[in-house]
Amino acid sequence: MSGSGNLMDFLDEPFPDVGTYEDFHTIDWLREKSRDTDRHRKITSKSKESIWEFIKSLLDAWSGWVVMLLIGLLAGTLAGVIDLAVDWMTDLKEGVCLSAFWYSHEQCCWTSNETTFEDRDKCPLWQKWSELLVNQSEGASAYILNYLMYILWALLFAFLAVSLVRVFAPYACGSGIPEIKTILSGFIIRGYLGKWTLLIKTVTLVLVVSSGLSLGKEGPLVHVACCCGNFFSSLFSKYSKNEGKRREVLSAAAAAGVSVAFGAPIGGVLFSLEEVSYYFPLKTLWRSFFAALVAAFTLRSINPFGNSRLVLFYVEYHTPWYMAELFPFILLGVFGGLWGTLFIRCNIAWCRRRKTTKLGKYPVLEVIAVTAITAIVAYPNPYTRRSTSELISELFNDCGALESSQLCDYINDPNMTRPVDDIPDRPAGVGVYTAMWQLALALIFKIIITIFTFGMKIPSGLFIPSMAVGAMAGRMVGIGVEQLAYHHHDWIIFRNWCRPGADCVTPGLYAMVGAAACLGGVTRMTVSLVVIMFELTGGLEYIVPLMAAAVTSKWVADAFGKEGIYEAHIHLNGYPFLDVKDEFTHRTLATDVMRPRRGEPPLSVLTQDSMTVEDVETLIKETDYNGFPVVVSRDSERLIGFAQRRELILAIKNARQRQEGIVSDSVMYFTEEPPELPANSPQPLKLRRVLNLSPFTVTDHTPMETVVDIFRKLGLRQCLVTRSGRLLGIITKKDVLRHMAQMANQDPESIMFN
């Protein structure tokens, strides 16, 4: 322990565990960054020594790309497997394939070559449960049997899922995005991105989606991708030993997750940039893009949708939109904003109730009950019985000539000889009217059940249910406008663009706009939302309607409360998340926030050369601060540096074991030279190597808005407050968060400990 006393000594890692963090603690971004630079410097200087070291340095430089490639491959594969499994298990609720029970309905009927696409429903190899069990395919008893089987399977899946989550990986529940945001902002939650979470979340995700609950797999896929990122980054010391670098990989993994969820690589990168990430340097942007692309192409080569399409909802519209349609689009935006507000308020209220009342003690029962209600209500209505993504797909679709869906049951003009993709507006048939009723009921049901579903102890995403709500509302508005335009094409608003025989309104586009609006209202995404939707449609043509709806929905929702669902859940759980988007506009100064406050005992400090080992050990035992400022003496209180608690403990332990003559009465000194001591005093202990000589300081007059900015941009853990060199107090990230909560009239005690 004869440290030469400069800052770089830490990096020789004289004792283990230096540079790691405890669970539920915040990392120090600046320190992580400088540790990485040191590592890089060491490798660069070594690489000139021998060819082997040079190759090692090249491998190190490439490891970032390798990690991205691996993440892309694994995330894409997992997404593909999940899609296939969900497909099979969703169909299993209705029936089974005789030729091979692991085939889904569609695969089953493909392999039995005798049927064409139109005869899909009559494919003999696929048997409904009633056909298989009692050999009946029609009639009331068959219906009831199928109904019961549907409910039973749903309950079985849900029960399995919630049990697996409870027993093996409690962190696998929820969408994961609030926690990932918190982790990326520099918080440590051990095991949240672990291998067990990865495995259990993947399996239970399949189960819950198949069970027909009102949830999506998109959010959890981001969590799954981040688990992959965490796994691969643990294989490379560059990332496993540096929490800052690891977070760069996780940001990219989140992009890959959205990329496979929607088949939208650019949207995924922007989602990671806008919504999830905290520290996003440009190098990460480029690598995220790479990971997102690899993931998307891996998924495509697995081809789970059987159509070689990259995107989840492929749509192709044949008619442009017209200026007058902006009005219904903006209305849909308003609806989306209102839905977002309603959903966030109700869901947070319900989740708070779950946290505080007895309800939270029976998570399995809760899941079973919600699943039972969902299955019972959903089965009779064709729009809720099928999987939600199929529903959205159908709602987005334009009615072509070959479309057999109920939604496309228009009354055709018998004299029509137009090409198939340019069908004029037609009067609605009976099917459309029935569909409207069913859609309205499905909409109400979805709105209510989603509020209770999101937040249960199972993996659950929000994107798909939100989009479904919007798509249903949008499609209904679209059909309404279409029929209005058909029957009243002489009205002024229609006269200019909607002559009889023209194809002027595309209800599918309204569904899409509605979906964007609702998703925007709930998540408050902006650019990434529009870009994801743009990648789905593949044309700039429809970007203006989407943007109008997204902007409106965000404005409307923001008027009722600035928080999106993820921020709301972060606050509910009290994670120490310092949002980059929140603007701090109060006039407080650093002196108002720093501790000790007036009347509190003075700050626990170390002096540079007058405390004994025992004094320090007592101080460490009696307090639980993460570190202590070091001052010249208690009288002058001039700041010298900052010592981390963890490193102090390790250094003292080490010295007591290894260094001779160190006893409880030994004086500890942080200066270069030992202090002058009486002749018979024990050997002093030099601790300069654990002293950070460049702690971050602000003056007591610094406005808090600047302090918040510094904490955000530099990712600090704590900051010392001085006035003309004299130490006055300390501000930690937790103090900043508490102060912000206080200023926003929230409970400052809700912030989790860091």
- Residue 471: count other Cβ atoms within 10 Å of its Cβ: 32
Task: Please report how many Cα atoms fall inside a 13 Å half-sphere around the Cα of residue 636, on the Cβ side.
Answer: 10
Q: C-beta of 725: minimal distance to a second copy in Å?
A: 1
- Residue 38: count other Cβ atoms within 10 Å of its Cβ: 14
Comparing CB distances to a second copy, the nearer of 240 and 697 is: 697
Comparing CB distances to a second copy, the nearer of 583 and 600 is: 583
Comparing CB distances to a second copy, the nearer of 172 and 312 is: 312
Q: C-beta of 619: minimal distance to a second copy in Å?
A: 21
Q: C-beta of 404: minimal distance to a second copy in Å?
A: 28
- DSSP 3-state of 726: strand
Tokens representing residue 500 in the block = 């009889």
Q: Which residues lie near a second copy (CB under 8 A)?
A: 7-8, 30, 33-34, 37, 40-41, 44, 265-266, 269, 274, 281-283, 285-286, 289-290, 293, 296-297, 310, 526-527, 530-531, 534-535, 538-540, 543-544, 547, 551, 580-581, 583, 585, 587, 590, 632, 638-641, 693-695, 697-699, 701-703, 705-706, 709-710, 713-714, 722, 724-726
| Structural Rg of the chain based on CA atoms | 31
H helices present in 279-412, as ranges: 282-302, 326-356, 363-378, 382-385, 388-396
Comparing CB distances to a second copy, the nearer of 119 and 672 is: 672
Q: C-beta of 92: minimal distance to a second copy in Å?
A: 33
CA atoms of 123 and 136, how far apart (whole Å)? 15
Sequence-ordered list of residues with C-beta below 8 angstroms from that of 534, at least 6 positions apart, any chain: 267, 540, 542, 543, 546
Backbone angles phi, psi at 500, to 5 degrees: -60, 140
Comparing CB distances to a second copy, the nearer of 269 and 518 is: 269
Q: C-beta of 487: minimal distance to a second copy in Å?
A: 31
DSSP 194: S
CA atoms of 193 and 13, how far apart (whole Å)? 26
Q: C-beta of 703: minimal distance to a second copy in Å?
A: 6
Q: C-beta of 378: minimal distance to a second copy in Å?
A: 34
Comparing CB distances to a second copy, the nearer of 429 and 703 is: 703
Q: C-beta of 661: minimal distance to a second copy in Å?
A: 29
Comparing CB distances to a second copy, the nearer of 390 and 582 is: 582
Tokens representing residue 34 in the block = 């400088």
Nearest to 258 by CA among 283, 236, 229: 229
CA 674 to chain centre: 52
Comparing CB distances to a second copy, the nearer of 149 and 730 is: 730
Sequence-ordered list of residues with C-beta below 8 angstroms from that of 650, at least 6 positions apart, any chain: 15, 17, 18
Nearest to 194 by CA among 226, 218, 241, 163: 226
Comparing CB distances to a second copy, the nearer of 163 and 699 is: 699
CA atoms of 648 and 690, how far apart (whole Å)? 7
Sequence-ordered list of residues with C-beta below 8 angstroms from that of 500, at least 6 positions apart, any chain: 424, 486, 489
Nearest to 392 by CA among 311, 329, 454, 460: 311
Comparing CB distances to a second copy, the nearer of 724 and 745 is: 724
Q: C-beta of 343: minimal distance to a second copy in Å?
A: 22
Q: C-beta of 42: minimal distance to a second copy in Å?
A: 11
